[in-house]
Structure 1
Amino acid sequence: MPLGLMLGIGRTFRRKRTSSLDILSSKRAPRDYYKGKNCKPTGFHTRKGGYVIQPEKLPNYVVPDLTDFKLKPYVSQVAREIKTAESTETSK
């Protein structure tokens, strides 16, 4: 038997090592493992399968009053360069 053929057969029977850095999912972990989506819980599960939302765990966004605000909420993709007196003084 040629040497190359013997080496090829040996490679097919060799098992690949599983890396310890593989992504841990619920299919590779124990039965009760729940990974989630990297977000904080907003409540808790009840014994009968319900879910109770706790208001103190909900995100609270504080938005200031933007009436009479001179800036626009969006920036144009084609911005124009505007020369002001301050920018000409600093460039000199």
Structure 2
Amino acid sequence: MALGLILGIGRAFRRKRTSSLDILTSKRSPRGFYKGKNCKPTGFHTRKGGYVVVPEKLPNYVVPDLTDFKKTPFVTGQHKGHWFCIFINAEEWDI
């Protein structure tokens, strides 16, 4: 009887230790937990359920001016499971 009780407690500790190492989901988390997808918020929620986008929080991409760039983008199809884009010289290929 005592041996069964000790073995049962040991099994419970072993089960609890392995389950605590699992990935944290909304089912195994505190109330109100939201994991998200690792993206930054672009605004805030209002009291009435709306959403206000703040322009300062939007991503700002700095792209160089390519109007006088000698090479043009050449996008090929899928090659061995990967998409790739290379720059070619427009004068050589008569594009």
- TM-score normalised by the chain length of structure 2: 0.56
Aligned length in residues: 66
The answer for the alignment partner of 1:33 in structure 2 is: 33
User: What's the Cα RMSD here?
Assistant: 2.5
Larger strand share, 1 or 2: 2
Query: Any stretches of 5+ residues in structure 2 without a counterpart?
Result: 1-6, 80-95
Return the alpha-carbon distance in structure 2 between the equivalents of residues 23 and 71 of structure 1: 47
Return the alpha-carbon distance in structure 1 between the equivalents of residues 62 and 28 of structure 2: 41
Larger helix share, 1 or 2: 2
Where 1:73 maps in the other structure, the secondary structure is strand
Deviation at 1:75, TM superposition (A): 6.9
Return the alpha-carbon distance in structure 1 between the equivalents of residues 29 and 71 of structure 2: 51
Query: Any stretches of 5+ residues in structure 1 without a counterpart?
Result: 1-9, 78-92
Return the alpha-carbon distance in structure 2 between the equivalents of residues 52 and 69 of structure 1: 39
Residue deviations 1:59-82 (CA, integer Å, cap 9, x gap): 0111111012123334766xxxxx
Where 2:56 maps in the other structure, the secondary structure is helix
The answer for the alignment partner of 2:48 in structure 1 is: 48
Residue deviations 1:35-55 (CA, integer Å, cap 9, x gap): 111011101111111111100
User: Relative contact order (C-alpha < 8 Å, sep 6+): which is higher?
Assistant: 2
Deviation at 1:26, TM superposition (A): 1.2
